[in-house]
Amino acid sequence: MKPLQRLLIYLLINVAVSAITTLLVLVVWTYTHPQLKIGASVAETAEMNVPTITLAPTLPIVITAETSPTPTPLQNVEEYKVEVDDTLGEIAAKYGLSVEEIMEVNGLSNPDAISAGLVIYIPVTPETPPTNTPAPTATKIIDINATPDKKAGSAGVVINSVIGVGDITQERVFISRTGIGELNMAGWQLRDENGNVFSFPQLQLFEGGAINVWTTNGSASVVDLYWGLQNPVWQPGEKVTLIDAKGAVRATFQIT
């Protein structure tokens, strides 16, 4: 056999072996990957192999409009001057109130912490006027957040009493207005006989008004001021002196 014929035979054998091998590989691939089809289109192949993606639900966005703060309601009160032998329970009974209601309005924590001459506030409403005895004074409206009007007028003050002497939780000096007009007490001082001094902040004391100067700590309001001391300052027999911004003595009180 000629060499050329022999080479041609070898080539044909190699082609046949390659074809058989390729066919076997395709058969094995078809059986091991049934989801793919021989000759499948690009779109079909992509559809079979692309994983499913689940999107999480989008939470709704809630926009809350800002609301204006509710204004503090005004408190209708009447002034009542405590008389000798008065008790808070008797006063509450006169006005058809509970002792707790009167204590809350006046910032009292002890129902026995009242004395003759002390002016306290009695909460009233137009629908429920006091039942017994004539009203001590005309009804006033207290607005803790109000800014006082600055009008001219003469005015005086008096130290009515020193309450709770020696008890840091109750000790306070009760001061009330006399005369007419309004009184600017900014820079005034309250002094004892041992060199202790309380200086008043910017304060307008109105006609018929009153103020408590507490020895202890607290939040100041139009009816209560706080010295911020840790121990009682007043003693029996001691003299309390109230001095104005110019250094003049405006009132004194002897503690009994």
Rg (CA), the chain: 46
By CB atoms closer than 10 A (0-12, 13-18, 19+), residue 173 is buried
Return the structure tokens found at 33. 């990957």
- Per the rule left: phi > 0, alpha: psi between -120 and 50, beta: everything else, 187 is left
Residues 156 and 254 in one domain: yes
Same domain, 219 and 189: yes
d(Cα 122, Cα 102) in Å, to the nearest integer?
A: 6
Half-sphere exposure of 160 (CA within 13 A, CB side): 22
pLDDT of residue 126: 53
Please tell me the distance from the alpha carbon of residue 235 to that of residue 106, in angstroms, as a whole number: 24
End-of-domain residue from the set 142, 173, 195? 142
Q: How far apart are the first and last CA of the chain?
A: 151
Residue 192 and residue 253: Cα distance in Å, rounded?
10
DSSP state of 40: -
* pLDDT value of position 75: 57
**H or E, element range at 24:** helix 3-32
Whole-structure pTM value:
0.44
Structure token pair of residue 109: 């924590």
Q: Are residues 245 and 136 in the same domain?
A: no
Q: Quick one: 158 and 256 in the same domain? A: yes
Domain-ending residue, one of 142, 167, 182: 142
- Cα 7 to Cα 13: distance, rounded to the nearest angstrom: 10
Query: Which among 181, 198, 179, 182 has a CA at the least distance from the CA of 243?
Result: 198
What tokens does 218 get?
Answer: 């607290």
- Last residue in a domain, options 100, 123, 142: 142
Tell me the CATH number at 247. Answer: 2.60.40.1260
User: Over the chain (256 residues), what is each successive 10-residue block's mean pLDDT?
Assistant: 72 80 77 53 46 49 45 64 86 89 83 80 65 48 42 69 94 90 90 94 86 94 92 95 94 94
Q: Is the Cβ–Cβ distance between 200 and 191 less than 8 Å?
A: no
What confidence score (pLDDT) does residue 142 get? 46
Sequence-ordered list of residues with C-beta below 8 angstroms from that of 46, at least 6 positions apart, any chain: none
- Unique residue bearing structure tokens 């110019």: 246
Q: Are 80 and 92 a contacting pair, CB within 8 Å?
A: no
- Residue (of 82, 95, 101) closest to 133 by Cα position: 95
Secondary structure (3-state) at 212: strand
pLDDT value for 37: 46
Enclosing domain of residue 127: 73-142
The pLDDT assigned to 154 comes to: 53
